[in-house]
Amino acid sequence: MNTPLMPDEIRQTVLCLLGEIAPEADLTALKPGVNFRDQLDIDSMDFLNFVIMIHKAFGVEIPEADYPKYGTLNGCVEQLSDKRVT
């Protein structure tokens, strides 16, 4: 049974994962359309870990070529809304 995820659920989960990676950040001020790396102190290692967490949390395959699409909160919601949780 595949159920589409609600954008709010996705947003909540993504923010939760970001919080684990950058615990010092104030995520309430995060601008959804702007790249995380311009707003948070995260590097490529952090971003890689973020992608791995998304992969685990949502059960999605993310090819390296798609990494840039997961660079913003809106991007994540857009990408993950298309997927189905299996």
Question: Which residues sit at the interface with another protein, rule CB under 8 A?
Answer: 22-24, 41, 43-45, 48-49, 51-52, 55, 61-64
Q: Is the dihedral of CA 7, 8, 11, 12 positive or negative?
A: negative
CB of 52 to another protein, least distance (A): 5
Nearer to another protein, 23 or 33 (CB): 23
Shortest Cβ 13–another protein spacing (Å): 17
**Within 13 Å of residue 41, how many CA atoms lie on the same side as its CB?**
5
Side chain identity at residue 66, one-letter code: D
